Amino acid sequence: MALVTDKKGLVLARIPGTSVPLVHTIFGASAFILALFIGCYGHYYKIVKNGVAGYPDEWFPSVSATTGDWYPERNICQIFIALASGPRLGLCYLWYLLTIRNVPADGSKGFAKFLLTNDIVRTIACGGWVYITSSDDHDIHDIAMIVYLLCTIPHVVGTIKTAPQNPKAQQYRKLFAYTFFGALIPMVYFFIQHNVHRIPGAYTYYAFFEWSLIFSDLAFDAVCLIDFETFEFRVVDIGMGGKREGNSSALNDLKTYGGSEKGVGAAIGSIKPFEIISFAADVYLGFVFWSMLTSLPLMIWYFPLWHMGISGYEAFLFCNVTAGLLGLNFLRRGIERYKGIVHLLSLVGVLSYKIADPAHRLMAVAAGVSLSLLTWGATFFGQRHQNGRAERGVLTLALGLILHNVVKQAWWANNPIWPIMNENTGGQNMIGLVLGVLAAVQVMLRKEPGTDEPQTIESHKKGESWLLAAIGGGGYLFCLHSMFTDSTTISRWSLGGYPNTGPQPVPGGLMVIAAMAMGLTLSSKRRWVTSLIWWAIGTAGLAVLHFNEGDIGFAGGIVFTVYALSLFPALFRSLSRQPPGRTFLLAMLVYNFLALAHVWVVAYAFVPGGEVMRERTDYVLIAMQTCLLLGIFNSNSSAWTVISEAKARSSFNAARVYAKLSLVGLVLASIGVCYNRLPKSTPQPHHPEHKLITAGIWTIHFAIDNDMYSSELRMRDVIRDLELDVIGLLESDLQRIIMGNRDLTQFLAEDLNMYADYGPGPTKHTWGCTMLSKFPIKRSTHHLLPSPKGELACAIHATLDVYGKEVDVIVSHNGQEEDLLDRQLQTTELGRIMRESDNPFLFLGYVVTTPGKGQEIYELLMDGGHVHDIEVSDWDRWCQYLAFRGVKRTGYARVSHGGITDTEIQVGKYQLLEDHPTSWDRSQSIEDFKKEETYAQISEHQVPEGLRFPSMFYGEGVRKHRFHVFDRPYYYA
């Protein structure tokens, strides 16, 4: 190359700008590709083997196994990563120069500096997990990997937002970004299948997604080849007649494709710390709104639960009709002007957890819900004429809903600021209240974006109807409340018996939250999401969810989740464009009607006219989808024209940037929650040395204690202290509006380290029954017992792997005293199930009858099932019973409920012994069968320590739990 001279000196070399990303890509890709080929050639069987299985179940190696365990592939990878590190750091610096080149004169360069710092930390973290393998130091390796992934989010989003506006490059960047983050969800799923469920072959599928992350990452950075085509590097000898120019810099010589001081620079310049705080405050207030809205029916439910029927407090559901007051112009304008103050006043719903009296607490929550609804309604209506603000308000409310799901996921389906929570039940009410006050104060002090801008001119067709908008809005609010205020609702709707349970809350909840984020992202495609085709796709997904169990049903639920969240801006904006008084009033009435119907389908035995809605969830879903269709049709009937200034568009674009960053952060937070909730060990029974099974039954009244506080922590404590290996929990299906869409099963199972069978799900219209077990569940069947007249009864028939032998367990909740025919049919069916099994059997159930000979229901259970009552002399029983066959009974106790419910805990201890008969002769008469079991009691000092009940329950007991009725346990020889 010929040497030339420019004004700065002798140019020794000219290097194309594309050389840096090209060298980085070649070295980076070579590091992993060479390691893969060399590893497969030299150590194939070793690198595909893991702690669960080896070849042929596992046949493709993971990245960590390939690059971290064996010579020479590990060393080859590290050498090429070292070669790639220089170009990588150079790429970071060059992108920084490119970024500040596009920032306008009055814009902030702080974001460019932040991005440079982030990318340098990310590069160092990459070196951390490459050079410190998991076999060297597992913790440091994992920390470096987590830091790398955390830094990848601002790296990807920041690069896309600061890139020159080259459509081709941006298209590739977005493609590789979607493939990178999209691969995280199935990767986590297969990791859980491998690490938790220990399924052979799952790690191979995990490995494919892990490798895809590597190549998506490299491909994303390689797109810089397109951006750097238009500039070059020069090596100049400034001593050869050149001179320095104080006012010139390399930055001024950069020429980029499409570079200008407008465009992205304007968008980046609009991202200011105060605006981020303002946006975060609105999102948090949205979270508070969803928290109070979901707590209201939950608190109302407390009263009919104890009254066993209509209590009168149900009227508080209609507190939301106060939204009709928005039709008063002076009130609406006053709320809009002073909405920070009204937000502050609405926090009485959060503060209400301090009120001891349940009725007064409910009143405070109802007041908070009313004020919050008025504030958000006034906000939407008031912002419709102000540029960029209406969309921002809708986005923050939607993000508040997703935040609500993530927070509930972190608290095992409870919300830490609900009024049923307090410092004794795991709540963080005071922290939530303080954050709410700060957010409300921020709203009071800030200057609202768009108030100094010209009015947006909007026009619409006369065909748009307030009536259809109200119906659509009310139906949509019900849809969100009933199905998307907890991330586990979809998985519980689709669950079946073992092994076809579908995804568990971890990782099912993560998938739902990611689908919600995806749906909200798609909402910008307004023509598509409000089309009839999209509605049909969403309806099909809902139908698949409703009519199928397991993975297929869950997949339909994910489709419906994406569909539902994509409608958020369209339907809420349509609602806000109508006359606010009558529109919001009718919307709330539609929501209330659907909410009551949603309750009536399961509570039909306790409400007037309930038989009309008995077990008709399909009616409710059809009505809901019809409402959505009408709302969509109405939204499409309008042709909106928005004329606004550049500043307004910038405000709107900034809100979209914040929203996208928030979505990424929320999904990442959900990933962190799931990782934190992974089981650390395999469940183990309490006394395997005696081959002991300690089993119990308990009716828990929906995990709301006698003082209207959450009872999961207290339940966990007594189950742990009683050393229960198997327990049946009745009235445990909380996935309904009136129970707060909660899920006590996941908390108890994870905290107590037990396997769980949730039992028949919400679409089966029962009050629920759950089984927790320290023993693996080999298979299970969910039964809906015959109920021609009264409430539908549920049962779980499970086969457990108990010390290497199969033992069957039934957990059941039968009907009430008023319906004799139901109880006869239900108990007959339970007897048939037990009688037809050859395995040892444990019955843990709720059967309303007086015990003893001559009692029809009692004999249908014991004689019909060929099982022994745990204690025939215990006459003081009415609804809960323990029975057994094929195991040796060693103990029986009744433990008081401790104020958690109105029903005691019954516990039996059994041994599975080699010399004890575990099967029964079908030709044997019931009289001969009964003679086999003796009831000889022995004193406690004759019982080995490991077979005894804990002594803490004697006398006054612990936490109000004590041995009662006999005031001591019974032990048997």
Number of CB atoms found within 10 A of residue 885's CB: 24
Is position 287 within any domain?
A: yes
- Are 259 and 315 contained in the same domain? no
- Are 625 and 722 contained in the same domain? no
Angle in degrees, CA 746, 752, 756, rounded to 5: 45
pLDDT tens digits, one per residue of 748-799:
999 999 999 999 999 999 999 999 999 999 999 999 999 998 889 999 999 9
Is position 126 within any domain?
A: yes
Determine contact, residues 768/730, Cβ cutoff 8 Å.
Answer: yes
Domain hosting residue 762, numbered range:
688-972
* pLDDT at residue 457, as a whole number: 36
- Are 402 and 519 contained in the same domain? no
* pLDDT at residue 107, as a whole number: 44
* pLDDT at residue 42, as a whole number: 86
pLDDT tens digits, one per residue of 219-257:
998 888 887 777 677 777 666 444 444 333 333 333 333
The residue ranges of the chain whose pLDDT is under 50 are: 1-2, 105-107, 240-270, 385, 387, 449-461, 639-648
State the catalytic residue, choosing from 797, 813, 866, 868. Answer: 813
- Are 123 and 238 contained in the same domain? yes
Residue 916 maps to which CATH number? 3.60.10.10
* pLDDT at residue 637, as a whole number: 63
- Report how far residue 253's alpha carbon sits from residue 53's, in angstroms, rounded to the nearest whole number: 58
Question: In the chain, what is the greatest distance between 2 CA atoms, to the nearest angstrom?
Answer: 117
Q: How far apart are the first and last CA of the chain?
A: 100
- Report how far residue 131's alpha carbon sits from residue 78's, in angstroms, rounded to the nearest whole number: 7
CB-count exposure of residue 194 (10 Å: 0-12, 13-18, 19+): buried
Is position 910 within any domain?
A: yes
- Are 524 and 442 contained in the same domain? no
- Are 374 and 481 contained in the same domain? no
Is position 454 within any domain?
A: no
- Are 414 and 478 contained in the same domain? no
- Are 286 and 229 contained in the same domain? no
CB-count exposure of residue 755 (10 Å: 0-12, 13-18, 19+): buried
813 is catalytic: yes
- Are 257 and 300 contained in the same domain? no
Q: Which of 210, 234, 267 corresponds to the end of one domain?
A: 267
Tell me how many domains the chain contains.
4
Nearest to 631 by CA among 685, 567, 547: 567
Is position 423 within any domain?
A: yes
Determine contact, residues 390/573, Cβ cutoff 8 Å.
Answer: yes
* pLDDT at residue 239, as a whole number: 61
* pLDDT at residue 963, as a whole number: 98
Is position 730 within any domain?
A: yes
- Are 237 and 286 contained in the same domain? no
Give the DSSP per-residue string, 705-759. Answer: -TTSSB-HHHHHHHHHHTT-SEEEEES----SGGGTS--HHHHHHHHTT-EEE--
| Cα separations in angstroms, 618 against 621, 624, 764, 783, 917 | 5, 10, 11, 20, 48
Q: Which of 449, 471, 491 corresponds to the end of one domain?
A: 449
- Report how far residue 441's alpha carbon sits from residue 453's, in angstroms, rounded to the nearest whole number: 24
| Residue 773, helix vs strand vs coil | strand
Do the strands 805-813 and 888-895 form a parallel or antiparallel pair, or are they unpaired? unpaired
pTM beyond 0.85, yes or no: no
Is position 229 within any domain?
A: yes
* pLDDT at residue 816, as a whole number: 87
- Are 262 and 275 contained in the same domain? no
- Are 29 and 178 contained in the same domain? yes
Nearest to 335 by CA among 293, 386, 372: 372
* pLDDT at residue 267, as a whole number: 43
Residue 289 maps to which CATH number? 1.20.1250
- Report how far residue 395's alpha carbon sits from residue 917's, in angstroms, rounded to the nearest whole number: 65
| Residue 782, helix vs strand vs coil | strand
| Cα separations in angstroms, 125 against 130, 143, 152, 827 | 9, 9, 11, 62
Is position 284 within any domain?
A: yes
Dihedral angle sign, alpha carbons of residues 665, 667, 668, 673:
positive
Determine contact, residues 53/205, Cβ cutoff 8 Å.
Answer: no
* pLDDT at residue 288, as a whole number: 98
Point out which residues pair with 784 in neighbouring strands: 794
